[in-house]
Amino acid sequence: KPVSMEMDGKFLTEEQIGALGARQTASMTSTQFQSLSGEQLAALGSAAMSALPAALIASITPGQVAALTMPQLQGFSATQLHALSDTTLRALTPDQISVLNGGQINNLGTHQIQQLGGDQIAALGSGVLRTLSAVNAAALTPAQMALLTTDQLQAMGPQAAHVLLPAQLQALSPAQVTAIGPTALAALSSTQFNSLGAADLQALDATQLAALSTVEMRGLGVSGLSQFTDLQWSEIRGAQMAGLSSQQVAALTVNEVAALDASVIGAMSTLQWTALSAAQLQGLGTAALHALSRNEVASMSATQLAALSTLQVSTLNGTQVAGLSSAQLHGLAAEQVTA
């Protein structure tokens, strides 16, 4: 069956198109190349397609690009990918996008990355996102970030996470934030971490909380920490607690302090411990008081000691009591002493 392109006075069939060598196809003019139908373009061999110069690749129309075969696309070089126009790039089907490997995606320019539509973003495999360059990760628009699945976000590693802009992180839903791996989450700077909203912070699970750095914890400030639930405070460990300033410790609610694991209370620094108010101390349970070091008890002010109930005082062990100074002992109420 004759086809629409004429070369040297002859109509070329799809079979004839497929038989053209790399040198012959590379010598086509843009006019000749654009006259190829989708079927004719799909008939070109992978080697012939790979040999096409950027000028011809740039002339591919949206109608033609949809006909490109998977082997043809897999053979595209970085130069050829860069030559695709925005309109042509957006015409690639999700199936076509899905066959591009990480190297090819990373060879796209940042402007091209931003042209990818929702279906195309969804077609990016975990393997591709696992190797996504920092430059291209930072180029994703907030709208594109909002379209990433939890599997895709889990695949994005620390090298991508640490370059994400606050606007990109703010576009994520709590479910998406939960999908960020602990290692990637720990790679966020305090500025990035602070961009997460209350619902995002409350979505963090125990594994993610355990991965937070002292810098991230301190960077949340008083207002950021206030977003954590009591359950989350019960999952905070000494490594995270060590990052809190005395101002942050003093701002914790009675319930938040009471939710802290006894090992966390025992690991608090003297500066943190002395920042606790009377109300916060009164919320501590027996296990938490038993976990206190001799130095922590010895650092308590008269006001703090006076705030302890007789039951709490009675739970202090001999080593802890031995650490009290004479001034502290004299400051205890009669009922505390008898306890």
Contact (CB, 8 A) for 23 and 53: no
Name the token pair of 289: 């008081």
Mean pLDDT, rounded, for 212-223: 91
Query: How much is the pLDDT for 224?
Result: 92
- Say which DSSP state 13 is in: P
What's the pLDDT tens digit per position in 279-321?
A: 999 888 888 888 888 888 888 888 888 888 888 888 888 888 8
Using an 8 Å Cβ cutoff, are 157 and 130 in contact?
yes
The pLDDT value recorded for residue 303 is: 86
| Residue 24 banded pLDDT, cuts 50, 70, 90 | confident
What pLDDT, on the 0 to 100 scale, is given for residue 316? 86
Average pLDDT over residues 265-274: 88
- Residue 44 has what DSSP assignment? S
Q: Indicate the pLDDT class of residue 276, thresholds 50, 70 and 90.
A: very high
Mean pLDDT of the chain: 87
Instruction: Tell whether the model's pLDDT for residue 25 goes beyond 90.
Output: no
Measure the CA–CA gap between 299 and 99, rounded to whole angstroms: 64
pLDDT category of residue 3 using cuts at 50, 70 and 90: very low
Amino acid residing at 295 = N
Per-residue pLDDT, 339: 64
